[in-house]
Amino acid sequence: MPDRATALRVLLRGCLRRCPNCGDPGPYRWWWKMRLRCRKCGIHFEREEGYWTGAMAINLIFTELVFAVIMIAAVIETWPDVPMLPLLLVGLAVNAVVAVTFYPIARTIWIAIDLLLHPLEADEVRETTELRRLRDQTTAHV
């Protein structure tokens, strides 16, 4: 397990949609389109089949927390005449927008958590080292 400063740095990179392993800002081609590998350190983001289940759980928890905070605040603010239909519509919109918007961040947070709990294995390190070596050779001859 890495020390606290390293763990915080890795988690912060994940929260900022950066590669948790090296901090490169480019894991995504655009908001939702993730590259297969980090363009700087070469790690393969989807480390095994079914890997994004953890990201989906993070996304669901965050979305429902936002939903709960908004709903509780609205009920407290409008009590005792709670406008149920408008509140229901706002709740549906919040769930859709937050879930779709936050998912890319949930993915990089999940990669960070996974890297902290399950550091790169020897074959992954060899693979990324080889890819970086090949990339450097290719760019050196251009």
Please report whether residue 10 would count as binding Zn ion according to CB under 5 A: no
Contacts of 27 (CB under 8 A, 6+ apart): 17, 18, 19, 34, 35, 38, 45, 108
Please report whether residue 109 would count as binding Zn ion according to CB under 5 A: no
Q: Which stretch, 7-15, 36-44, 57-65, 99-107, contacts Zn ion (CB under 5 A)?
A: 36-44
Smallest gap from Cβ 8 to Zn ion, in A, equals 17
CA dihedral 133, 135, 136, 138 (to 10 degrees): 120
Single-letter amino acid code for the residue at 84: M
Q: Which of 7, 12, 15, 24 binds Zn ion (CB under 5 A)?
A: 24
Smallest gap from Cβ 85 to Zn ion, in A, equals 47
DSSP-derived secondary structure for 99-123:
HHHHHHHHHHHHHHHHHHHSPPPHH
Please report whether residue 22 would count as binding Zn ion according to CB under 5 A: yes
Residues that bind Zn ion (CB under 5 A): 19, 21-22, 24, 38, 40-41
